Structure 1
Amino acid sequence: MDTAGDALFRPVRTGNAFEETVERLLQAIRLGVVPPGERLPAERELAARLGVSRVTLREALHALQEAGFVESRRGRYGGTFISASLPVGGGPVPPPSVGSLEDALTLRTALEAGAAEAAAARVLSGYDRDHLRARLAECESAELTDYRRKDSRLHLAIAEVTGSASLTSAVADVRMRLNELLDGIPLLPRNIEHSNQQHAVIVAAVLDGDPAAARSAMTEHLDGTAALLRGFLS
């Protein structure tokens, strides 16, 4: 593996291991570090280089296989190979420019991390608390095809309980912009599972009245989504 491979296949951060593993693998594929038709390093080696468990690596590879980026071959000369014909984009929308993608992600982090912090700093009413718990429950039980709508509703609910109509409106606007980007990438069940775990931590921090924890948990959650968007769309 050349120096580009060394740079891309470096240890990921631990907060969003699955999402960042997908991002690193997609970067290696899109940049041609591992060309179409070529084999990725063996699972044991790749997991060690990325600093993730083999379970996490396999989940990432499975997601990329379902999305059409890699294929698995059995036998003596088997392994995981880059698809000879790579998908063009992630979905029906054209890939955004790097500048517009980063602009959207920066704006989202500023607004939504701030919203989580502000919500946790506020004395919430019984209605506010029930509202957050209900939106969280809906997200956790959502069908795959309805997940993004329920996810959007939960994020908007966090902004709503800040009591700021202006902030809620701004979060709604940025969420519409984000959903246009998310429509360009596939839904990954492992990412949804992880997102729901993070949602629970965010809501718990808000309900516990811990602004620092709420901001930190939301930031980590948004970083995971950003990693997938950069991987699929950059």
Structure 2
Amino acid sequence: MGQDQRDGGARGAVFSPVDNRARVDTVVRRLGDAIELGLLADGEQLPGETELAGRLGVSTVTLREALMALRQQGLVITRRGRGGGSFVALPDVPAEDRLRSRLRGWSTEELRDLGDHWAALSGAAARLAAQRTEPEDLHQLRRTADALGQAADVPARSRLYGRFHVELAAAAQSARLTREQVALQGEVGALLCLVLADPAYREEVADRQRALLRSVQDGAHETAGPLAERCVRESTARLVAVRLTL
């Protein structure tokens, strides 16, 4: 598979030019979110500094500052010499007590507001994907949904769940929706470990994703949108329920 193919869709949004107003923080957030979601694989080598800076639309100085911040966060490692460069280092997902502590930082109103935003993004993406894609364009979404249905590891379930929604936005052929989904998953992604530990709910989510895929494949935008929204709202409601127990 060529580089152009590999960098299409969800991955392509990772390397699209960043907002000129943001610079270092935007590069750190963009790459960091992509690593957390597994869009960039553990151990994967990033493009060279000059190429990556050009693709992100920033200076090499800005890129180096961003890579330094990512190294400090443990998301990137740099090797010198032949075969060297910057490589992705997938972090361990926080332990449950740390996740619960992080969830305490959200009020129930904030979680519901986040859910409204997420549902709006995913619903719009599902409708557009149903209108714009061909069945052969949905192979990656199918693989992600199938992988979620089989994943025994809770952190992997969380990453696959978030990746599905990012890839749905990519299937909608909207770079802006895709970037918004990547950023949103950076906020909520790891927290989903708190609700996806239940195998029954994991299977329920996988079934809903398969139903959503069928609607997108059939071009049924009038049902695809509500299915995506329902999936998101159910997950948000479960997070709110966990938050109320803390």
TM-score (norm 2): 0.54
Report the equivalent of 1:168. 178
The residue identity in structure 2 corresponding to 1:133 is: R
Residue 155 in structure 1 maps to residue 162 in structure 2: no
Q: What is the alpha-carbon distance in structure 1 between the residues aligned to residue 193 and residue 201 of structure 2?
A: 15
Report the equivalent of 1:119. 129
Instruction: Report the aligned-residue RMSD.
Output: 2.3
The residue identity in structure 1 corresponding to 2:131 is: A
Report the equivalent of 1:109. 119
CA 1:211/1:89 → structure 2, altered by over 3 Å: closer, same or farther?
same
Contact 1:184 1:233 in 2 (8 A): no
1:130 to 114, 139, 150: 139
Query: After superposition, where does 1:30-179 map in structure 2 within 5 Å?
Result: 91-95=100-104, 96-124=106-134, 126=136, 128-145=137-154, 146-179=156-189
Q: What is the alpha-carbon distance in structure 2 between the residues aligned to residue 100 and residue 109 of structure 1?
A: 14
Shift of 1:218: 1.1
**Greater helix proportion:** 2
Contact 1:92 1:183 in 2 (8 A): no
Shift of 1:182: 2.6
Q: How many corresponding residue pairs?
A: 147
CA 1:180/1:134 → structure 2, altered by over 3 Å: closer, same or farther?
closer
Shift of 1:178: 1.6
Contact 1:135 1:154 in 2 (8 A): yes
**Where does the alignment leave 5 or more consecutive residues of structure 1 unmatched?**
1-86
Identity %: 22
2:233 to 211, 218, 223: 223
SS of structure 1 residue aligned to 2:102: coil
- More off after superposition, 222-231 vs 185-194: 185-194
Shift of 1:172: 1.1
**Where does the alignment leave 5 or more consecutive residues of structure 2 unmatched?**
1-95
Residue 190 in structure 1 maps to residue 209 in structure 2: no
SS of structure 1 residue aligned to 2:172: coil
Contact 1:91 1:186 in 2 (8 A): no
Q: Which has the higher contact order (CA 8 A, sep 6+)?
A: 1
CA 1:207/1:94 → structure 2, altered by over 3 Å: closer, same or farther?
closer
CA 1:193/1:208 → structure 2, altered by over 3 Å: closer, same or farther?
same
CA 1:108/1:125 → structure 2, altered by over 3 Å: closer, same or farther?
same
Q: What is the alpha-carbon distance in structure 1 between the residues aligned to residue 151 and residue 190 of structure 2?
A: 20
CA 1:89/1:187 → structure 2, altered by over 3 Å: closer, same or farther?
same
CA deviation vs aligned residue, 1:115-160 (integer Å, no higher than 9, x gap)? 111111113262x222222222222222233111111121211111
Q: What is the alpha-carbon distance in structure 2 between the residues aligned to residue 161 and residue 191 of structure 1?
A: 25
CA 1:89/1:186 → structure 2, altered by over 3 Å: closer, same or farther?
farther
Q: What is the alpha-carbon distance in structure 2 between the residues aligned to residue 183 and residue 98 of structure 1?
A: 18
Greater C-alpha Rg: 1
Contact 1:121 1:209 in 2 (8 A): yes
- More off after superposition, 184-193 vs 195-204: 184-193
SS of structure 2 residue aligned to 1:147: helix
TM-score (norm 1): 0.57
Shift of 1:103: 1.9
Contact 1:115 1:158 in 2 (8 A): yes
After superposing on structure 2, the runs of 4+ consecutive aligned residues of structure 1 that deviate more than 2 Å are: 87-92, 123-126, 180-186
CA 1:125/1:206 → structure 2, altered by over 3 Å: closer, same or farther?
closer
